Structure 1
Amino acid sequence: MTIKYEWRGDFENAALNALHADGFGHPVGRTDWRERLDRHSLGWVCAWEVGSLVGFVNVVWDGGVHAFILDTVVARTRQGTGVGAALVAAAADGARAANCEWLHVDFEEHLSSFYFDACGFKETTAGLIAL
């Protein structure tokens, strides 16, 4: 099957809520993704396969040169097939086209190989405060 990637692609909230539930293994939520993305995002990438949303990544930014990857999610049936790396690559292209100079990501330890090896991120020193 061919997967189509769209920068700032159109989607229904229900489809993205269902994808998040499937990809992250939690109950289907009722997040108003449209409102959230319109308020906070530089852009996002949708991955479509035969009319179904199979992947998504959000790109937020500081309004300047720094963009940040959030909510990278791939349908369980497509995990491990390169969809996630292609989503991140399309997100990097979108951020680059918006004149961002840096793309940041933070992640849990078990995702290190994905972000460092598959996506090409470099390890840096960072800090975090749990609120």
Structure 2
Amino acid sequence: MTITYEWRGDFDNAALNALHAAGFDYRASDVDWLARVRRHSLGWVCARHGGDLVGFVNVAWDGGVHAFILDTVVAPGHRHCGIGTGLAAEAARQALTAKCEWLHVDFEDDLRSFYFDACGFKSTTAGLIAL
């Protein structure tokens, strides 16, 4: 299976909304992802298989040295073949190119092995306030 990764790649909002719904197991919404990432993000990575959007990660930032990966998603039928790791790796490469010094991620506990073992993130102490 050949997967291509594209930094700041063009995508269709409907395709990304469908990918998010399938990937996070919720009802599809009508988010204008393209406007959102263009306004708030350093960039994003699209993973494609035969032209179909099968993975996505958003790379937000503080405008300085901190970047944050958000919304990492891989289509259910394409999981466990390295696409998520490829998304994270491309996000890290592009954040480094943009002179970021840190790439942050937060995640649910069941993704601990993916982010620490497969992607190379290290455990840190952090805080969170649920709003």
Shorter-chain TM range is over 0.9
Matching residue of 2:123? 123
- The one-letter code sitting in structure 1 at the alignment partner of 2:20 is H
Looking at structure 2, the residues matched to 12 and 21 of structure 1 have their Cα atoms a distance apart, in angstroms, of 14
Paired residues, what number? Answer: 131
Alignment RMSD (CA, Å): 0.5
Looking at structure 2, the residues matched to 121 and 72 of structure 1 have their Cα atoms a distance apart, in angstroms, of 14
Matching residue of 1:79? 79
Looking at structure 1, the residues matched to 53 and 34 of structure 2 have their Cα atoms a distance apart, in angstroms, of 15
- The one-letter code sitting in structure 1 at the alignment partner of 2:104 is H
Post-superposition CA distance 1:62-82 (Å, at most 9, x none) = 000000000000000011111
Matching residue of 1:11? 11
What aligned pairs does 1:50-129 form with structure 2 within 5 A after superposition? 50-129=50-129
Residue 28 of structure 1, CA deviation: 1.1
- The one-letter code sitting in structure 2 at the alignment partner of 1:11 is F
TM-score of the pair, normalised by structure 2:
0.99
Q: Say which SS state the counterpart of residue 45 (structure 1) adopts.
A: strand
Residue 39 of structure 1, CA deviation: 1.1
Matching residue of 1:42? 42
- The one-letter code sitting in structure 1 at the alignment partner of 2:124 is T
Looking at structure 2, the residues matched to 87 and 66 of structure 1 have their Cα atoms a distance apart, in angstroms, of 18
Looking at structure 2, the residues matched to 108 and 22 of structure 1 have their Cα atoms a distance apart, in angstroms, of 17
Looking at structure 1, the residues matched to 98 and 126 of structure 2 have their Cα atoms a distance apart, in angstroms, of 24
Q: Which runs of 5+ in 2 are unaligned?
A: none
Q: Which runs of 4+ in 1 moved over 3 A?
A: none
Looking at structure 2, the residues matched to 123 and 92 of structure 1 have their Cα atoms a distance apart, in angstroms, of 17
Q: Which runs of 5+ in 1 are unaligned?
A: none
Identity %: 70
Looking at structure 2, the residues matched to 32 and 78 of structure 1 have their Cα atoms a distance apart, in angstroms, of 24
